[in-house]
Amino acid sequence: MQYRFKKEGGILYVQTEGEIDMSMCDEWRDAIDNELGRSGLRNIVFDVTSVSFIDSSGLGVILGRYRKLLARGGKVAVKGANEQVYKILLLSGLAKIMEVSPACKQAVNRVGGIL
Amino acid sequence: MAKLINRVESRFFSIAENVALSRVMVAAVAAPLDLLLSQLDEIKVAVSEAVSNAIIHGYEGRADELVGLAIEHWEDRLTIRIKDNGVGIQNIAEAMEPNFSSCGDRMGLGFAFMNSFMDKLEVFSEIGKGTEVILTKMLQEETTESNKG
């Protein structure tokens, strides 16, 4: 698992690659929280386009950031979920409390934007 | 009675890095079976949750304990056993309930995912002795469906 940050338009983009499980979750969470603290941003978009696997440990980090930012009036969204990631986001209930878009929808939107 | 075709068994340290190892092992044994890619992904999630539970809850984060993983390919099913000799579960029914309000970043959805993604989930536990989780995926019926749930 690898990740990097991008800040644009008041949003912290967390671009993550690979498999998200408990082995990297503490580091991932701390890095995101540090970046939020440093930047003062209140909105996160988790870009999971290149994430091939996620389990409840990874979802827990997303939920934790959601709770933290909600208290500050911020928002969290997840973009680019593949089939497995999207299914687990739906099943977990996260898709009910935050915007979650599957990879195909994002692609459709992009195509729609061009046309 | 269904015939046992393959059995792979291993024990590994209760460290987080081995959660991915357990997924790889299960995926390798399950790869030749007639499973959809989405079913394989679901099995990997269930295994990941069970092994994570053994490390986090069973052994309470201790890194030098052993987690057992046994993968059995039967004619009609794939059975995966995850065993720890940790603290055990006081109330299995309660532990299996989704707990969205759990503290910190833990979602309390491990058993819910195992239950949703597998055809059968069995949990045996004894306080002070450990826990065994048995995950079963039926092979014939499931492969005729395009997706489950």
Q: What is the CATH number of the domain that holds B15?
A: 3.30.565.10
Q: Give the pLDDT band of residue B84 (cuts 50, 70, 90).
A: very high
Q: What is the CATH number of the domain that holds A18?
A: 3.30.750.24
Q: What's the pLDDT score for residue B108?
A: 82
Catalytic residue among B18, B23, B42, B49, which? B49
Number of separate domains in chain A:
1
Does the CB of A61 have a partner CB in chain B at under 8 Å?
Answer: yes
The pLDDT tens digits for B54-75 are 999 999 989 999 999 999 999 9
Q: What's the pLDDT score for residue B34?
A: 87
> Does residue B65 have an active-site annotation?
no
Does B86 reside within a domain? yes
Q: B106 and A53: CB-CB below 8 Å?
A: no
> Does residue B94 have an active-site annotation?
no
Q: Give the pLDDT band of residue B141 (cuts 50, 70, 90).
A: low
Range of the domain at B138: 4-143
Q: Give the pLDDT band of residue B100 (cuts 50, 70, 90).
A: low
Q: What's the pLDDT score for residue B144?
A: 44
Does B149 reside within a domain? no
Which of B107, B113, B116, B146 is best to mutate for the A interface (most A CBs within 10 A)? B107
Q: B107 and A19: CB-CB below 8 Å?
A: no
pTM of the model: 0.89
| pLDDT over threshold 90, residue B105 | no
State which amino acid sits at residue B38: S
Number of separate domains in chain B:
1
Q: Give the pLDDT band of residue A105 (cuts 50, 70, 90).
A: low
Angle at B21 (CA atoms; ends B16, B24), nearest 5 degrees: 145
For residue B22, the chain A residues in CB contact (below 8 A) are: none
Nearest-Cα distance to chain B for A112, in Å, is 28
For residue B17, the chain A residues in CB contact (below 8 A) are: 23
Does the CB of A53 have a partner CB in chain B at under 8 Å?
Answer: yes
| pLDDT over threshold 80, residue B149 | no
Distance CA B65, CA B70 (A): 17
Does B92 reside within a domain? yes
Q: B112 and A91: CB-CB below 8 Å?
A: yes
Range of the domain at A25: 2-114
Does B40 reside within a domain? yes
Q: What's the pLDDT score for residue B98?
A: 79
> Does residue B91 have an active-site annotation?
no
Q: Is residue A72 classed as helix, strand or coil in its secondary structure? A: coil
Does B108 reside within a domain? yes
As a whole number, the mean pLDDT across chain B is 90
Q: Is residue A42 classed as helix, strand or coil in its secondary structure? A: coil
Q: Is residue B102 classed as helix, strand or coil in its secondary structure? A: coil
Asked if B22 and B51 count as a contact pair (C-beta separation under 8 A), the reply is yes
Task: Select the residue of A19, A53, A63 nearest B107 (Cβ to Cβ).
Answer: A63
Q: How far is CA B97 from CA B45, B62, B91, B107, in A?
A: 17, 25, 10, 11
For residue A23, the chain B residues in CB contact (below 8 A) are: 16-17, 19-20
Token reading at B42 = 């679901």
Percent of chain B with pLDDT over 70: 89
